[in-house]
Chains A and B, each alone.
Chain A
Amino acid sequence: MAILLLADHDNAHLSDQTAKALTAAGKIGSDVHVLVAGAGAKAAAEQAAKLSGVTKVLVAEDQTLANNLAEPLAALIVSLAGSYEAIVSAATSVGKNVLPRVAALLDVAQVSEIIEVVSADTFKRPIYAGNAIQTVQSTDARKVITVRTASFAAAGEGGSASIESVSAAANPGLSTHVKDALSSSDRPELTSAKIIISGGRALGSSEKFQEVILPVADKLGAAVGASRAAVDAGYAPNDWQVGQTGKVVAPQLYIACGISGAIQHLAGMKDSKVIVAINKDEEAPIFQVADYGLVADIFEALPEFEKAVGAR
């Protein structure tokens, strides 16, 4: 039987989280259908059809699906579920919101944030902030799975799947969308960036965060991350938080600036290829995972770093 992969998109663009989750889905089964649910989502559907490994794209367009509200989206997925052996989504805020609802409606367990597909019913997933890795086997006939995308490479293009329309399910009408306050930025997204520079509590203020971290990010073409302490203190917006309860990232280069390295932060970045830590405390735990550690004051080191990397 086929696999249904829920697309992550904003109607105009398919997020590369979908291409990464597709790689995981393809290891569970070879017949992967992508569901694009939205309003005016044709462009996203066309992008999904081009991904290599996708055999069919289902598009459900309806005003009730425009804002990823959990109840109508879950109802749609459940209405399609009968033909699928597994329902998969990237562990994005949309996937994490809706898939457990789907699982409960289907009376199956969800396997959250898999990092490896061992076989069609067996998966590895981190527990305790990534301090242990569990191998679990699902005994349910139908599987509901979210994928930690930092652990899978994005599927390439080259597909030409057919696009089919499906109708939205009846909207239970339990919730309504009021507004989105989404940050817009020309910088790469955290979960797809090759380089990330993150700032911690040491930055001290939102002004300093912008003054010290952002120029380096711009110079490197990097995405910007933050520790929870920096987000809680209002130095950085919530969607920049990296960690157990924020975003999990695995860039080529992660630069942690004035971040101590609490396990909850490490949970979100320790699979980065190269880790740099700049911290004035040489005992800071972040140095235990850093490939290159620099004991220094970030307010001196970062401007110097920006100059030294030169024009790129």
Chain B
Amino acid sequence: MKLLVPIKRVVDYNVKIRVKADGSGVELANVKMSMNPFDEISVEEALRLKEAGKASEVVVVSIGPAKAEETLRTALAMGADRAVLVETDDAVEPLAVAKILKGVAEAEQPSLIIVGKQAIDDDSNQTGQMLSALLGWAQATFASKVEIGEGSAQVTREVDGGLQTIDVKLPAVVTTDLRLNEPRYASLPNIMKAKKKPLDKKTPSDFGVDMSPRLKVLKTEEPSGRKAGVKVKSVAELVDKLKNEAGVL
């Protein structure tokens, strides 16, 4: 059984985002980039399935600029077998990403595609569901536990009221939530080895996908900020302020 794991190169989660003064977007020059944290979880899950003998090969794929190769190499260093880079400098929307991933899935024929729940840059939370729809496969989103059975997978999902467990027919798309696992770090020898692992380069036109955006970004602005308030000295003062100043108690 082959596993496909899409990974996105995003601004590192520790970076303090700055909006450009002219409202045209956020500052991306000289900003630290990393693998989307949910995608690290996806890679980890795929590797564990392989190590448990449930899967034979882990293929990672990214759609993005040439630099996304670094991110793919990180996944290879974690232990993925092969990578596909679909190179484009255009901003990509989840629908277009899903269409390209569909093309990759048709070529690779995986039994399971493990997608992150959300990219921490656009916070869309769409791609996995869209991909599953385009392939006509089952979806199991926000997974905190995945068990592979015969021709199906049992997935525990984090939902608003708690947890839901469902069975999905394979092939399927799973999207990963934070508590699925704790991703490993790549060791130095594995980082060296990853440089020699196969990485295929493609372009969106290889998949016949029209990348033109459906959403026009008119403006990007700072959120209305919040100012620090006051420090109170005691619990009594806090309660007094909440009752008599803020009126919320």
Which A residues fall within an 8 A CB radius of B? 67, 69-71, 74, 92-94, 96-105, 107-113, 122, 126-140, 172-183, 191, 195, 220, 228, 231-232, 237-239, 244-245, 247, 252-253, 263-264, 270, 273-276, 282, 287-296, 301, 304-305, 308-309
Contacts and interface: CB of A to CB of B under 8 A. Distances in A.
B38 to A, nearest CB: 8
A249 to B, nearest CB: 12
B136 interface: yes
A292 B234 CA distance: 11
Contact of B219 (A135, A238, A245): A135
A308 B231 CA distance: 18
B1 interface: no
B129 A97 contact: yes
Contact of A136 (B94, B159, B218): B218
Interface string B127-170: 11111111011111110100000000010011111111111110
A232 B178 contact: yes
A133 B238 contact: no
B223 A103 contact: no
Given A180-B162, A253-B242, A288-B228, A132 B141 contact: no
Contact of A175 (B11, B128, B168, B178): B168
Contacts of A127: 26, 121-123, 220
Given A100-B126, A132-B26, A181-B163, A109 B215 contact: yes
B125 interface: yes
B144 to A, nearest CB: 7
Contact of A174 (B95, B137, B162, B214): B137
Given A69-B166, A128-B120, A104 B134 contact: yes
A93 B124 contact: no
B228 A180 contact: no
Nearest to A301: B235
Given A131-B17, A134-B220, A136-B216, A232 B179 contact: yes
A58 to B, nearest CB: 22
Closest 6 CB pairs of A and B: A174-B138, A291-B229, A109-B214, A100-B129, A104-B130, A104-B133
Given A175-B167, A182-B161, A288-B228, 9 more contacts: A67-B166, A70-B132, A127-B220, A178-B154, A182-B159, A237-B162, A253-B242, A276-B238, A290-B228
Contacts of B29: none
A98 B249 CA distance: 38
B197 interface: no
Residue of A100, A140, A276 with highest tally of chain B CB at under 10 A: A100
14 contacts: A101-B133, A109-B215, A112-B124, A112-B125, A136-B215, A175-B166, A181-B163, A182-B162, A182-B163, A191-B160, A232-B178, A253-B249, A289-B226, A305-B235
Contact of B129 (A92, A101, A191, A309): A101
B9 interface: no
Given A140-B214, A182-B162, A296-B235, A134 B219 contact: yes
A128 B121 contact: yes
Given A74-B133, A239-B160, A175 B169 contact: yes
B118 A245 contact: yes
B98 interface: yes
Contact of A111 (B161, B215, B241): B215
Given A93-B158, A110-B94, A175 B138 contact: yes
B140 to A, nearest CB: 7
A145 to B, nearest CB: 11
B246 interface: yes
Contacts of A74: 133
A135 B217 contact: yes
A273 B125 CA distance: 27
Interface in B180-197: none
